[in-house]
Structure 1
Amino acid sequence: MTMSRTFLRPAARAARSPRAVLWALLLTTAVLAGCSTTRTVEGDVQTHTRLAAATLPLGYRIERLPSQQGTDFEPIARLAAQALERAGLRPEGAQAPLVVQIGVQASSVQRVDPWGPSPWGWGGWAGTGGWGVRGIWRMGEPTPLYRRAVSLLIRDARTQEVVYETSAVHEDVWTVDPALYGVLFDAALAGFPNPPAGRRQVRLPYPPPAAAAASPAAVQPAVVLPAATR
């Protein structure tokens, strides 16, 4: 018990020191500044194709489901159309040879704090006033895990046969809606019309929305990796 008291007292004094508080604030600022850099979105992509021998560009029209008729779906449809154009498809109205159906999903799950309740009191070690490891890095509850998913189903307009099916899923503790869906549409269409076989990871930089809207060329080429490399 004597050793424990001797150990805790210097830690408590250091935590109450203005210098310790200043260093903690500087460290937090540096972390937040690092979070403002360009992000990379990694999509878990699965694709099945019967268009491997198709010649681009291909004409298409988007067929909306009954739940997609409202104006609130317009931003999603616009992002999908931009991704389709970058992949080599062109809108052609009612006479288009291909029909595209769009799917989007959004969900979140509350993560469990891996540290669990602190056995040393709130925010770190006993007597440190909340400036222990938990006090700096784990202020409050863990951020929820957000799941965003997109899918594209492409059919032959004449036969109604599905000729291209693709999806992309992204999970992370940050989310930007609906702009993130645009990056996922690009990931789902990577390699169109002859993508790599099997499940794969597609990494794309998250571009500033203004730059992406101004020029499709602002979206950099995708990096495709086997799923096993995660």
Structure 2
Amino acid sequence: MKKVLAALIAGSALLGLLGGCSSTRLVDSEVTSFARWAPAPPAPGSTYRFERLPSQQQTETQQAQLEGLAQAALAKVGLQYNPQAASFSVLVNASTLPVIRSRWDGGYGGYPYGGPNIFIGSGIGGGGSSIGFGFGFPFGGMEPPLYRREVSIVMRELRSNAVVYETRAVGDGPWHDSGPVVGAMLEAALRGFPVPPADTRRINIEIPR
């Protein structure tokens, strides 16, 4: 009886530990950025407004949500949203591709997800949808989907109409709630602003589970 009680206590402690560890999740992104400031990077407090592509104007609600996430990320690097007195314009885009994977996945034929993967385009930011199929064998059921996401920000100086900053973050993850994940990826995409490293780097950001 004492052994059983001790095992139950140990199990409860382990579950408590695991529960504490599961309160956050890690969003990891591969980030590539380019800057071309002339004559110098913007000072803290520089102002911007958003611009939209014609395709993004067709998805008003989704684009507004995306711009809200971008506004929070831009504020963290010292930029101020002020469309009436903007010095820069910001174009932001995001996409999500759910990848439905079979249990046979594992690099078949040289493909990183070597089963009958199905790619379905969607996500915040608009821009259209697409469907594609991978290769493999569908026997044995399907694994939970993996979500491939990409976000990008292009900043243009309004006075000269020149693109002065471009950044992109890409990543895979099991989480279906795009909002918090995309917000973290936008923050990752702006790491190093306004003078980012030259090479692609991996940025990890923790968010609540």
TM-score, with structure 1 as normaliser: 0.62
Instruction: Using the aligned pairs only, state the percent identity.
Output: 39
Cα displacement (A) at 1:154: 0.3
Alignment of 1:117-128 (within 5 A): none
2:105 and 2:21 mapped to 1: Cα distance?
A: 22
Residue of structure 1 in register with 2:193 after alignment? 192
| RMSD, matched Cα | 3.0
Displacement of 1:207 after TM fit?
3.5
Over 3 Å counting, the alpha-carbon distance change for 1:191 and 1:113 in structure 2 is same
Q: Which runs of 5+ in 2 are unaligned?
A: 1-10, 107-139
Q: Partner residue of 1:89? A: 79
Please tell me the residue identity of whatever aligns with 1:205: E
Who wins on radius of gyration, i.e. which is larger? 1
Instruction: Show the counterpart of 1:145.
Output: 146
One-letter code aligned to 1:143: P
Pair 1:74-2:75 in alignment: no
Distance 1:141 1:55, change over 3 A: same
CA distance in 1, matches of 2:33, 2:102: 32
Tell me whether 141-150 or 62-71 shows the greater mean CA deviation. 62-71
1:58 aligns with 2:46: yes
Q: Which position in structure 2 is the counterpart of 1:100? A: 90
Unaligned segments of structure 1, at least 5 residues:
1-25, 117-138, 209-230
Partner of 2:170: 169
Report the CA distance between 1:76 and its aligned residue.
Answer: 1.1
- Deviation sequence 1:91-120 (CA, Å, 0-9, x none): 12143111100111111222232489xxxx
Relative to structure 1, the CA distance from residue 53 to residue 75 in structure 2 (aligned partners, 3 Å threshold; closer, same or farther) is closer
Cross-structure match for 2:134: none
Q: Secondary structure at the match of 2:102?
A: coil
SS at match of 2:143: coil
Deviation at 1:173, TM superposition (A): 2.1
Deviation at 1:194, TM superposition (A): 1.1
Inter-partner Cα distance in structure 2 for 1:194 and 1:115: 40
Matched residue, 2:35: 49
Aligned residue for 2:204?
Answer: 203
Q: Could you list the structure 1 runs, at least 4 aligned residues long, displaced by more than 6 angstroms after superposition.
A: none
Considering fraction of residues, name the structure with more helix.
1
Higher strand fraction (1 or 2): 2
* Deviations 1:73-99, CA, capped at 9 Å, x for gaps: 222111111111111101121431111
Tell me the distance in 2 between the aligned counterparts of 1:184 and 1:157. 26
Once residues 61 and 143 of structure 2 are traced to their aligned partners in structure 1, the CA distance between those partners, rounded to angstroms, is 34
Instruction: Give the secondary structure class of the aligned counterpart of 1:144.
Output: strand
Partner AA of 1:176 in structure 2: D
Whole-Å Cα distance in 2 between the matches of residues 108 and 179 of structure 1? Answer: 16
Structure 2: how far apart are the matches of 1:105 and 1:35? 29
